[in-house]
Amino acid sequence: MSEQDGVFVCDGVDLADGGRGIRFPVLAWGQPATGFVVRYDGQAYAYLNRCAHVPIELDWNEGQFFESSGLYLMCSTHGAVYLPTSGRCAGGPCRNGRLHPIPVIEKDGKIFWQPNDQFHVPA
């Protein structure tokens, strides 16, 4: 696995469908932040851990991003809900907003996030 394949986050088996997510450090537009990766419908998705309604972290407790049904990502503070496949607002105060996606791949049973123009590896 080369550096150009991405930055290791976790083993794929660490993510259950609609279950607990894994947080990871990023620089978002040059500022320290966290991203997170979850699994939904068998695929890994990663987003900046920042609500579109108010720029605060989503998780209830560390890694708890899904609401109780496991169908939506939910902000713990104001209840904004997002589609896990696109990050688009599905209800609540996020008003047509969306989460910022972080490119992610799953290769050889491992999850990697992909740095880009918006998201960089912290020093």
Residues 22-64 have pLDDT tens digits of 999 999 999 999 999 999 999 999 999 999 988 899 998 999 9
Cα–Cα distance measured from residue 102 to residue 118, given in angstroms and rounded to the nearest whole number: 9
Residue 97 has a pLDDT of 94
**What is the pLDDT, as a whole number, of residue 57?**
95
Question: pLDDT over 90 for what percent of the chain?
Answer: 89
Q: Which CATH architecture has domain 3-120?
A: 3-layer Sandwich (2.102)
Question: Distance (Å, rounded) from C-alpha 63 to C-alpha 20?
Answer: 5
102-117 pLDDT, tens digit each: 999 999 999 999 999 9
Question: pTM above 0.85?
Answer: yes
Chain centroid offset of residue 80 CA? 15
Contacts of 31 (CB under 8 A, 6+ apart): none
